[in-house]
Amino acid sequence: MRKLLIPLIIVSIVVGLMSVFVVKEGERGIVIRFGRVLKTDDDMARIYSPGLQFKFPLFDRVQLLDARIQTMDDQSDRFVTSEKKDVIIDSYVKWRIKDFGQYYLSTGGGNRLTAEALLQRKVADGLRAEIGSKTIKEIVSEKREQVMEDVLTEVQESANDIGIEVIDMRIKKINLPEKISDSIYERMRAERETVARRHRSQGREKAEVIRAQAELEVATVLAEAEKTARVTRGEADAEVANIYANTFNKEPEFYNFLRSLQAYEKSFNNKGDIMVVDPNSEFFQYMKEPNFKAN
């Protein structure tokens, strides 16, 4: 008995070790029994969470799968736009396993490279359909976000048959072949120059309008000022004439005397002036008779 006890203990230990397995954090385990994935009552794959788990020895085989979010950094691919021009698009996809049983079966035993090859094909098909219906201008600026959303929705629906969930899909970079880039840059430059010319033309037009309005306002102000000055000057002249008339009517002799003094002042204003006048003329009347008698 003692000779049989030791082998039994060894066999028990081996069987016990073959009956347990450990699932690490970030992983999930599924059990393959007789080549088929062990399922629950609702026909879904039985998932083993992180920790120490048990299985039937010899009959069960454990497949550990990475349950974390994966990043597929896709290679650049060439697509054709609605203008029949080529664009080179570089994208990436965030995904994780959703149905572990389906994933195991569709990828040939849980092969990640196979999964990403299938996913890459679906992303390329989605991009090809979207890019083929858009122009380069729409893809680069106007509808880039819409293209990514549409492709993401399409890939999410088609990726269910692989057993994975697509979380996000983004276009990292859009490149153009050199010839196409040159033609697009030339067209963009021509469009910008057209816009610039239009703005300059509109600016000159507005400047002319503003200048004309300013000149009209200046002319109006000057005309009003000239009108006011003429009226004021006329009123002043009339007042002066009235004063002279009243003075002449009251004191004709004094008026003549005053006018003669004004004439003397204007005539002898400059010391260098020379006048040749008959001294007996009326011009020197008040110089000869300085005594003035007012009435």
pLDDT digits (tens, 9 = 90+) for 156-168: 988 888 999 999 9
Whether residue 218 sits in one domain with residue 128: no
pLDDT above 80: residue 272: no
Same domain for 243 and 294: no
> Model confidence over 80-106: pLDDT tens digits?
888 888 888 888 999 999 999 899 989
Q: Is the pLDDT of residue 270 over 70?
A: no
Domain boundary among 141, 156, 176: 176
In a domain, 205, yes or no: yes
Inter-residue contact 294 to 253 (CB < 8 Å): yes
Res 177 pLDDT > 80: no
Residues 263 and 242 in one domain: no
Report if residue 217 sits inside a domain.
yes
What is the tally of structural domains in the chain? 4
Residue 11 in any domain: the answer is yes
Mean pLDDT of the chain: 81
Q: How many CA atoms lie within 13 A of 71 on its CB side?
A: 4
Give yes or no for residue 294 having a pLDDT over 50.
no
**pLDDT: is 204 or 284 the higher one?**
204
Q: What average pLDDT does this structure show over 169-181?
A: 76
Cβ-based neighbour number of residue 38 at 10 Å? 19
Residues 193 and 168 in one domain: no
Same domain, 279 and 209: no
What's the pLDDT band for 295 if we cut at 50, 70, 90? very low
Q: Does residue 182 lie within any of the structural domains? A: no
The pLDDT of residue 69 is: 93
CB 134 within 8 A of CB 85: no
**Residue 164: CATH number of its domain:** 3.30.479.30
Task: Please indicate, yes or no, whether residues 168 and 217 belong to a single structural domain of this protein.
Answer: no
Same domain flag for 245 and 257? no
Same domain for 88 and 168:
yes
CA distances from 25 to 48, 50, 131, 178, 187 (A): 11, 5, 40, 48, 55
96 in the same domain as 10? no
In this structure, is residue 181 part of a structural domain?
no
Residues 165 and 74 in one domain: yes
Q: How confident is the model at residue 234 (pLDDT cuts 50, 70, 90)?
A: confident
pLDDT of 15 reads 67
Which of the residue ranges 183-192, 218-227, 242-251, 253-262 would you say has the lowest mean pLDDT? 253-262
Q: Which pairs count as long-range contacts for 5-12, CB under 8 Å and 24+ apart, including other chains?
A: none
So what's the pLDDT on residue 11?
66
Residue 95 in domain: yes
Pick the more confident residue, 8 or 124: 124
Place of tokens 């380069």: 136
Element (H, E) at 251: none
The parent domain of residue 282 ranges over 252-295
User: Average of pLDDT values for 123-139?
Assistant: 88
Write out the two tokens for 119.
């996913």
The Cβ-side half-sphere exposure at 242, using a 13 Å CA radius, reads 6
* Buried b / exposed e along 68-89 (16+ C-beta atoms within 10 A): eebebebeebebebeeebbbeb
Highest mean pLDDT among 216-230, 231-245, 251-265: 216-230
Residues 56 and 110 in one domain: no
Mean pLDDT across the stretch 118-128? 91
Residue 183 lies in a domain: no
Q: Are residues 246 and 193 in the same domain?
A: yes
Q: Is residue 130 predicted with pLDDT exceeding 80?
A: yes
Whether the predicted pLDDT of 287 surpasses 60: no
- Whether residue 267 lies inside any domain: the answer is yes
